[in-house]
Amino acid sequence: MKSRICVALALCGAVSAQAQNVTVYGIVDAGIEYLTHAGPANASLVRMPNVTSSTPSRLGFRGSEDLGGGVKAVFVLESGMAIDTGMLNYGRRLFGRQAFIGMSNQYGTVSLGRQYNMTFHALLDSDILGPNSYAIADLDSYLANTRSDNAIGYLGKFGGVSFGATYSLGRDGAGPAGPQATNCGGELAADSQACRQLTAMVKYDSGSYGVSASYDKMHGGPGALFGLTSSAFLDVRSTLNGYVKFSDLKIGGGLLHRSNTSAASFTSNLYYIGALYPVSAAWVVDGQFGYLDVSDSANDAAIVAARVTYNFSRRTAAYLTAGRTINHGTSAVAVSPGATTIAGSAQSGVLMGLRHTF
């Protein structure tokens, strides 16, 4: 009797394993960089970055279960880690990059939890250097964390057209350390608009070219950073982006308009263009230029960056990347995340590293 029960349980386990698909994946990426004009002493610095090198390191679990009738249950749990120390990034959260569950069918996916919002999806194809240590995210630190806590999301694709939206009840509960507008958890009974965020996106991809547009509105809240200390204050970003391919050459660029209505109200336009070209099966060269124009202000900034990657295999690569930020007025944009520089100065960086995906 006992043996028959054990066999039955084993068969049930086998059926369950076949119905559910779980993938463990990750990236391990580390490098060493040299920076000029770093810190208040305006000295040079050699360090190992802990936020990103060519791409942020991570460990993730992705799964789905076929529920029949074309419907699937899906989930993602993804941690971000600092390879230099082994600590967790994104506010020291266990699953700081993504943590959501959802349902999907031919009409798209509905998801609940911490997830990429639509600004991320809109920029994905046009931002050539993306999460590279030297890139346009230096000019707007929010671009390094286009995720929303407590979010309800929808993303669908119909032929070449994709569109989606997210609505967050509280954008980012991790603070005070972190990228733009952290320490804004929201979900307050006394202030229903605190830290709420709405994002929306529409995109068209043909394979040889694509265009996208997005809208991202975030309310401030009590204790939030970067001047967004009231739910009446807004930080709104709108993007228009695109890319085109000429055989192996890819060119991408766009515009990000920002309107901040905090106590230190301002508007700005971030223009960027980049290109990627695989010289051979192993060698890839890409680069980017970005310019941040702050309206009615002398505090503009620019970045130019380039990268050369050698792929040892499909999973392992070495890279050399260099960048330079140029600041005007009181702008003090550092060329590398987590670094500092002197207002009105220029800063250069060179980073060499190794990346493995699994």
Q: What is the pLDDT of residue 39?
A: 83
Q: How many CA atoms lie within 13 A of 185 on its CB side?
A: 7
> What tokens does 30 get?
């580390």
pLDDT-derived band of residue 136, with 50, 70 and 90 as boundaries? very high
- DSSP structure class, residue 130: T
pLDDT-derived band of residue 17, with 50, 70 and 90 as boundaries? very low
Mean predicted confidence (pLDDT) in 145-152? 96
Residues 155, 149, 239, 259: is their CA dihedral positive or negative? positive
How many Å apart are CA 305 and CA 285, to the nearest integer? Answer: 11
φ/ψ of 244, rounded to 5, equals: -145, 145
> Is the pLDDT confidence value at 79 over 70?
yes
* Percentage of the chain exceeding pLDDT 90: 85
Closest CA to 334 of 43, 36, 31: 36
Q: What is the pLDDT of residue 183?
A: 85
Convert the pLDDT of each residue in 111-133 to its tens digit. Answer: 999 999 999 999 999 999 999 99
> Is the pLDDT confidence value at 137 over 50?
yes
Q: Which of the residue ranges 16-20, 42-46, 317-321 would you say has the lowest mean pLDDT?
A: 16-20
Q: What is the pLDDT of residue 160?
A: 96
Task: State the DSSP string of 300-325.
Answer: -EEEEEEEEEEESSSSEEEEEEEEEE
pLDDT-derived band of residue 254, with 50, 70 and 90 as boundaries? very high
pLDDT-derived band of residue 2, with 50, 70 and 90 as boundaries? very low
Q: Please name the residue that has the structure tokens 């959260």.
A: 93
> Is the pLDDT confidence value at 256 over 80?
yes
Task: State the DSSP string of 155-193.
Answer: EEEETTEEEEEEEESSSB---SSSSTT-SB---BTTBTT
Convert the pLDDT of each residue in 184-224 to its tens digit. Answer: 999 999 999 999 999 999 999 998 999 999 999 999 999 88
Could you tell me if 46 and 34 are in contact, meaning their C-beta atoms sit under 8 angstroms apart? yes
Q: What is the pLDDT of residue 3?
A: 44
Q: What is the pLDDT of residue 225?
A: 82
Q: What is the pLDDT of residue 19?
A: 53
Which CATH code of 2.40.160.10, 3.10.105.10, 3.90.1640.30, 3.50.50.60 fits the domain covering 27-56+119-163+172-357?
Answer: 2.40.160.10
**Better-scored residue on pLDDT, 306 or 228:** 306
Could you tell me if 182 and 174 are in contact, meaning their C-beta atoms sit under 8 angstroms apart? yes
How many Å apart are CA 140 and CA 186, to the nearest integer? Answer: 23
Convert the pLDDT of each residue in 292-323 to its tens digit. Answer: 999 999 999 999 999 999 999 999 999 999 99
